[in-house]
Amino acid sequence: MKYNVEIYEDNDRGGLTIDVPKEISFVYDLILSDIQEVKSGLWLDVVNKVLSKESPYEELTGNVCTMEVNYDMTKIIFEFAWEGTPDHCFIETEELKKIFMLWDEAIEKKYGKSK
């Protein structure tokens, strides 16, 4: 994996959290606000649809972020950015898939296969 990603139990927050590098900081918001403590499900499905070339482009909007998925690169847009502050980041689509899979593994480890 290209990025240093850490998923761990945050006792202050009361659940799992994720640390990601600054250059992909909105992955944090996507996972903790839109995916939350469930498997990545539909989000991973959209990524897989593009990576398998079933679709050339997919877009998915959650409560906080929009994910624009292209084969090579995915743009994650933070919908509530303050004016004049960054509102998006780019991540290689394959790397985002790996992060989603890590998140799913952490959820499964914590809750079992039911989530």
Q: Is the pLDDT of residue 13 over 80?
A: no
Contacts (Cβ under 8 Å, ≥6 apart) of 100: 35, 40, 43, 44, 47
- Tokens 């898939």 label which residue? 97
- Give per-residue pLDDT as tens, 16-75: 999 999 999 999 999 999 999 889 999 999 999 999 999 999 999 999 999 999 999 999
Q: Is the pTM of this model over 0.75?
A: yes
Position 114 scores a pLDDT of 55
Structure tokens that stand for 105 in this block: 């593994």
Contact 21, 84 (CB under 8 A): no
Sheet holding 88-92, edge to edge: 57-61, 65-70, 73-78, 88-92
- The total of other beta-carbon atoms located within 10 Å of residue 15's CB is 12
